[in-house]
Amino acid sequence: MKLITKEEKDAHLSHVLFEGGKGLIYGGILSTGLYAYLKHKHPVRFKSFTPSIRAAILAMPTVSVAAFWADQGSWEFDKKAHQGDYEENKFLQDLKNWQKLSTSDKVFTVLNDHKYQIIITAWAASLYGSWVYVNKDPIMSVAQKAVQARMYAQGITIILLLSTILLAMKDEELKKKQPKPIPEWKRIIYEKEMEDKKLLQQQQLKDEHVDKAHEKDTHPSNIIKELNRSKDQESH
């Protein structure tokens, strides 16, 4: 069984808290959506809810999703941190580099890592939001509303594209501060050296165990005991 170091323990806690924070945000969005849906789509039933039930509608999904993401974060950490010596060291080093980043750099990094999901979600939300906003106008026809909503959506799309350019520029800036990745041939040599080191340590422990057993067997007191035991057996 491998004993974890304080560094690994702190890295695990940091990763779990980060993933739990993400789950807290997602759970909060889900809870707010559910609360708004019940309030506007089922107003009569919603009014019959007690304050405790309304609080539970907001709290339960939030807490549940946060707990799920934190648990998944713990599982992902164990999986990534124990793939091999090289992968483990690389993963821990990446976490160290992450912890050294400022808050703004962390925000940019998270946004850049999930930029495609964010762009698609924001684009779809802009289409829906634009239509909902334009559809409130009682004067325009449906065709005019569709054209107007499309114009709003196109404007938002341009803003999103500019945002991706800014994220890419910031990502390049952050990568310049990071150490260059280790070439594949160096990684293979490193893993081989670590494997040989482990085998050598195991052989040394085995030799020490054999030496201790040999010393115990050849100790004068043990020899005398063995001779006395043999004499007792012969006399019987």
Q: For each of the chain's 236 residues, which pLDDT tens digit applies?
A: 455 667 677 777 887 888 888 899 889 989 998 998 898 888 888 889 999 999 999 999 999 999 999 998 888 887 776 666 666 667 667 777 777 777 777 777 777 777 778 788 888 888 888 888 888 888 888 888 888 888 888 888 888 888 888 878 877 777 776 666 666 666 667 667 777 777 777 777 777 766 665 555 555 555 555 556 665 555 55
The pLDDT value recorded for residue 225 is 59
If asked whether residues 174 and 194 sit together in one domain, one would say: no
Does residue 76 sit in the same domain as residue 165?
A: no
Domain count, the chain: 3
* Pairwise CA distance, residues 145 & 153, whole Å: 12
Shared domain check, 110 and 25: no
Same domain, 125 and 138: yes
93 and 1 inside one domain? yes
4/88 same-domain check = yes
Do 78 and 17 belong to one domain? yes
pLDDT at residue 1 in the model: 46
Amino acid, single-letter form, for residue 190: Y
pLDDT at 59: 92
pLDDT for 82 equals 66
Do residues 125 and 149 share a domain? yes
Task: Give the end of a domain, one of 70, 100, 130.
Answer: 100
DSSP 2: P
96/133 same-domain check: no
Predicted local confidence at residue 235, as pLDDT = 58
The SS3 call for residue 162 is helix
Answer with the one of 68, 100, 132 that is the final residue of a domain.
100
Judgement on whether residues 135 and 193 belong to the same structural domain of the protein: no
Q: How far apart (Å, rounded) are the C-alpha atoms in residues 52 and 54? A: 5
Residues 107 and 43 in one domain: no
Domain boundary among 100, 130, 162: 100
Query: Residue 200 sits in which domain range?
Result: 188-236
Assess whether 80 and 120 both reside in one domain: no
Dihedral (Cα; 137, 143, 149, 151), 10-degree rounding: -130
- Give the pair of three-digit tokens for residue 122: 């924001």
